[in-house]
Amino acid sequence: MNTEWRDAAGISYYFDHDTGRILGSVFSYANSAGIWVAKVEKSTIPYTNDNEVLLGHFISLQAAKNIVENWWIIQERTLLEQ
């Protein structure tokens, strides 16, 4: 997977460059400049609220980005089918 981050107004998106699919995002917690929220978007069909996985609240933007990247690294190493 060829991934990268793209920053937009107050939010950073982690996406697959080849498909354009958003894999996760990091954004500032409700009117707070010091707390960051990280979440990932699974690709389960049909799309439900369970597709968004909240990874937690972080003290820095970089820590939040790292947890999103690590979540996808683990998913790529996990055997999903037998």
| Greatest Cα-to-Cα distance within the chain, rounded to the nearest angstrom | 45
Higher pLDDT, 24 or 10: 24
Rounded to an integer, what distance in angstroms lies between the CA atom of residue 64 and that of residue 13? 11
Higher pLDDT, 75 or 26: 26
Rounded to an integer, what distance in angstroms lies between the CA atom of residue 61 and that of residue 75? 22
What's the pLDDT at 34? Answer: 83
Predicted confidence band at 63 (pLDDT cuts at 50, 70, 90)? Answer: very high
